Structure 1
Amino acid sequence: MARPLICIDARYVRRRPSGIGEVVRALVEHAPALAPDLDFLLLKHPDAADPLSVAPNVAERLVRAAANGPATMWWLSRATDLSGVDLFHATANILPARLAMRSVTTVHDVMWLKHPDWAAKPGVRGKIDRAFYAHGIRRALRRSTRIATVSAATREEIATLDADAAERTRVTLSGVDTAFRPPVAGSETPHGRRYVLTVGQAAPYKNHLAALEAFALAFGDRGDIDHLFVQRQGAGAAALQARAVALGIEERVHVLGAVSREALIALYGHALALCHPSFYEGFGNPLAEAMACGCPVVTSDVSAMPEVTGGAALLADPHAPARFATQLRRIADEPALAMDLRDKGLARAAALSWRAFAAANVAVYREALAA
């Protein structure tokens, strides 16, 4: 009898880092070893490292079409041969059309359906993106044999849109790579001064201007503390720098752009705190990464942030920078609190295992195959 063949769309794994890319990378690293009775076909982006997996039950296939592009949405079965596949795992929110086999879709969040303005770029491109992602996510909710989500918060959001989809949804809680760990005692700080750190893309939902406002309220009178942003350069960086000038703190605000993983780990490990006032997250990788590096976290009291931090962070209303400022000031002024957050964060991060995440996905595969 032929072994079931699981096709995982791994095209988000690329040299350019992304949150979904980290999730998919962990899945393909662990799932084949956890399911030696299954065979896996990985759809791979041309920019990915070679190979994605060395497991004996894995084959890889190059697909040049974008993971979230028109060819994937409507004509994936023409872009690559999916004959013989028993289960297709769409890993990035949208479910391709015309799939003949059972399917699992990982819906990281439903922001494109509930709060599209927080995700979309301005202008015509934003309108196209709204329509595209809303169509793909609605298809995923309607037609996937099973739906996987990276947090219980996302499952709850799905339930507000489609009760039947929520019944088919399973939580596969994200993890954090073991490379993220506290710095060695005595290691040199990467910045030379004390600093607050904010990490993430310059999308409206990340609320980075509020992070800057909170920093100014907390430390505007303390010239020994800087604010570092790890954020892709572009219009978002320009807006931050313009606001920093208006606040009179431009010399203490630094937008670093993309950095290497090693540099990011060092930045987390030596930061005074991570300031993460996001309006909405499916999971929020920077939260887990910061906790794993021993960095105290101040984050929002909404969406998945309380769930991910699990009592190991200070929470505040993302619409109220003054409340974030109060929490940041507490960490700066109360060493015992900062140490307590560090210890709680390390314990929470230790419970966020990529292996457990992959095992949960394998369980979803087996359930979908049996459906």
Structure 2
Amino acid sequence: MTLICIDCRYIGPRPSGIGKVQQALVDHLPDMAPDLEFLFLKRTDAPEVLSAASNVREIVVKAAANSPATMWWLPRIAPLSGVDLFHATFNIMPAGLRMPCVTTVHDIMWLANPQWCTGRLPHVLERHFYGHGIGRALAKSAAITTVSDASKHELLAWDSSLQGRVFTTPPGIDESFRHDPKLGQPTVQGWPTGKRIVLTVGQNAPYKNHEGALRAFALAFGGRDDVALVFIQRLNQASETLRDMAQNLGIASQVHFLGPVDDAALVTCYNAAAVLLHPSLCEGYGLPLAEAMACGCPVVASDRSAMPEVLGGAGLLAPAEDAAAMAAALRQVVDDEQVSSAMRQAGLGRAAQLSWRRFADATLDVYRSVLQC
């Protein structure tokens, strides 16, 4: 039986968009393709069992997903003999693979705009690492999947020789993300009560443009006691920079920084928020936009890369670096109940079109086209 290995090492205690992509493959592929066998690579702190399906085997790999061991020596540290197809799910293609490889390239920021990226290592090393891994993926993958048509077009503009090897597999939304007015106020520590909430979700990397979120909020609601800005992000030194910026803008008392929350808590936050503000400079996809819409939360986002595609006309768009335009869009949503209600209904309709099972099915089509089975 044909064996497909999928690298699932983003599935773990810390929520991430790539982890949700991998989880969708784990949840749906085994029963969609009973004629295939699957080998899932997982991290040491992953759940004990990812899938109970009879056509699945799982192996713990001690090396981190984005590590030198993964990049250059994965076939030495993971038993890949007998694998007919390898799916590299997080942008980089490991060296030394003897079987065809499908690589999911979520975006090419490390190639096109490395100044927008951040990582655990010094920036020059991080840039070399990802540039090398993504470059190998583009040069040697049998097929490349990506999560939006915007990312596909960016890939083809970067390297026109990829034509015919790049396929869009749009993500879905977990069923737990739903609109439920009965949920009430979130019990997340630090969530302000009695306010209309502008919510921003995501890691505090330069491409997320959280500084732009502060500027737009200050222009829209600075000095208003009834509106607060809440960041849900991994707190680090960059968060302290944002705190200082909020102080300088005169909105420090209105801005609240929360650490990461699990999906159950995030659902309550989306449901309670007046609007999601997502002013990114670039997104391969942007799962918070889709999840917010599914929870009935209107969205204001920047008008570039994949964000217009994800919103599908259900949100308001503004130039990422135009704080005044972003502020005007925020005021429309927060201060006009008719606009907010219309956006809520449009967002729910758009979210209903997004399915993780369709994502897995599209990915399976790519596998079969490479394997010709």
TM-score, normalised to structure 2, is 0.96
Q: Which of 6, 10, 13 lines up with 1:12 in the alignment?
A: 10
Residue type of the partner of 1:164?
A: S
1:76 is aligned to 74
Q: For 1:92-111, list aligned pairs within 5 A.
A: 92-111=90-109
1:136 is aligned to 133
**1:169 has 2:181 as partner:** no
Deviation at 1:188, TM superposition (A): 3.4
Deviation at 1:275, TM superposition (A): 0.4
2:26 is aligned to 28
1:43 is aligned to 41
2:278 is aligned to 276
Structure 1 moving runs of 4+ over 2 Å:
183-191
Q: Give the 3-state SS of the residue equivalent to 2:145 in structure 1.
A: strand
Deviation at 1:22, TM superposition (A): 1.0
2:228 is aligned to 226
Deviation at 1:247, TM superposition (A): 1.4
Please tell me whether the aligned partners of residues 120 and 130 of structure 1 are also in contact (alpha carbons under 8 angstroms). no
Please tell me whether the aligned partners of residues 227 and 254 of structure 1 are also in contact (alpha carbons under 8 angstroms). yes
How many percent identity over aligned positions? 53
Q: Which of 142, 145, 150 lines up with 2:142 in the alignment?
A: 145
Cα distance change on mapping 1:188 and 1:202 into 2, 3 Å: closer
Please tell me whether the aligned partners of residues 231 and 258 of structure 2 are also in contact (alpha carbons under 8 angstroms). yes
Query: Structure 1: which 5+ residue stretches go unaligned?
Result: none
Deviation at 1:186, TM superposition (A): 6.7
Q: Which whole-Å CA distance do the structure 2 matches of 1:224 and 1:337 have between them? A: 19
- Note the alpha carbon deviations across 1:143-165, whole angstroms, 9 max, x for none: 00011001011110110111122
Residue type of the partner of 1:338?
A: S
**1:341 has 2:343 as partner:** yes
- Note the alpha carbon deviations across 1:53-80, whole angstroms, 9 max, x for none: 1111100001111111111111111011
Q: Which of 153, 175, 184 lines up with 1:178 in the alignment?
A: 175
Please tell me whether the aligned partners of residues 197 and 229 of structure 2 are also in contact (alpha carbons under 8 angstroms). yes
Please tell me whether the aligned partners of residues 198 and 229 of structure 2 are also in contact (alpha carbons under 8 angstroms). yes
Residue type of the partner of 2:239?
A: A
Please tell me whether the aligned partners of residues 155 and 166 of structure 1 are also in contact (alpha carbons under 8 angstroms). no
Please tell me whether the aligned partners of residues 89 and 104 of structure 2 are also in contact (alpha carbons under 8 angstroms). yes
Q: Which whole-Å CA distance do the structure 2 matches of 1:25 and 1:42 have between them? A: 11
Query: Structure 2: which 5+ residue stretches go unaligned?
Result: none
Q: Which of 137, 151, 156 lines up with 1:154 in the alignment?
A: 151
Q: Which whole-Å CA distance do the structure 2 matches of 1:129 and 1:300 have between them? A: 27
TM-score, normalised to structure 1, is 0.97
Residue type of the partner of 1:82?
A: L
Tell me how large the CA RMSD over aligned residues is: 1.3
Q: Give the 3-state SS of the residue equivalent to 1:17 in structure 2.
A: coil
Q: Which whole-Å CA distance do the structure 1 matches of 2:341 and 2:181 have between them? A: 16
Q: Which whole-Å CA distance do the structure 2 matches of 1:4 and 1:33 have between them? A: 15
1:113 is aligned to 111
Q: Which of 56, 59, 62 lines up with 2:57 in the alignment?
A: 59
Please tell me whether the aligned partners of residues 229 and 254 of structure 1 are also in contact (alpha carbons under 8 angstroms). yes
Q: Which of 203, 206, 212 lines up with 1:204 in the alignment?
A: 206
Deviation at 1:19, TM superposition (A): 1.2
Please tell me whether the aligned partners of residues 41 and 61 of structure 1 are also in contact (alpha carbons under 8 angstroms). yes
Please tell me whether the aligned partners of residues 120 and 127 of structure 1 are also in contact (alpha carbons under 8 angstroms). no
Of 180-189 and 336-345, more deviation after overlay is shown by 180-189
Deviation at 1:227, TM superposition (A): 0.4
